[in-house]
Amino acid sequence: MDFLELVKKRQSVRRYSDKPVDREKIDYCLEAARMSPSACNSQPWKFIVIDDPQLRPKIAKETFGKILSFNRFSMTAPVLVAIVREKQTAFAKFGAVVRKKDFTSIDIGIAAEHFCLAAAEQGLGTCMLGWFDEKAVKKMLKVPSSKRVTLIITLGYADDETVRDKKRKQTDEMSGFNNYNKTDR
């Protein structure tokens, strides 16, 4: 499929089948993430794959609570992937301070999307989660206290493979040419 077909196919999956995910497919997604660009080639991430049948549901339970249960679907995902924020290079850190930009978060977002697009290409579904009990997740995954877990990605085969219509702004609403307000081509 061409790239735009892949982008349109990728969607946040919130219902997974119980079909296991082959390690080769996970490795393919990790390779896509590994090859993603980062500021000054910092590669400020570590992806932790959680597929252990004892650990995975414990991590999934930390993505929702009794009151806010919108991530409860994570319990059905056969694989979870936690992304840990790692140190950036000194030059990238200097640039971040000078430019007042969080390059590490940008870099992790790019790597996460590379992972998710590779998953979609492999016929897998994903959903990026930013809502979880980070302290509990770090403890279970033995992540050093000095580091941050920034995202958890659910991964597996969608229970329903129907690609939903995407509700997006029109191109002229989300873009401009040569200045903020100029939308004519």
Give the CATH number of domain 20-157.
3.40.109.10
Per the CB < 8 A criterion, the answer to whether 184 and 177 are in contact is yes
**What is residue 7's predicted lDDT score, i.e. its pLDDT?**
95
Query: If we measure between CA atoms, which residue out of 41, 32, 112, 126 comes closest to residue 79?
Result: 126
Q: Enumerate the domain spans of the chain.
A: 20-157
Mean pLDDT of 100-127: 95
- Mean of all residue pLDDT scores within the chain: 93
Per-residue pLDDT of 169-181, as tens digits, reads 998 888 888 888 8
- Flag whether pLDDT at 185 surpasses 70: no
**What is residue 61's predicted lDDT score, i.e. its pLDDT?**
96
Rounded Cα–Cα distance for residues 81 and 47 (Å): 6
**What's the pTM?**
0.92
Per-residue pLDDT of 118-150, as tens digits, reads 999 999 999 999 999 999 999 999 999 999 999
Using alpha carbons, list the distances in angstroms from residue 99 to 11, 91, 150: 33, 12, 22
Residue 31: helix, strand or coil by DSSP?
A: helix
Per the CB < 8 A criterion, the answer to whether 44 and 36 are in contact is no
Per-residue pLDDT of 14-49, as tens digits, reads 999 999 999 999 999 999 999 999 998 999 999 999
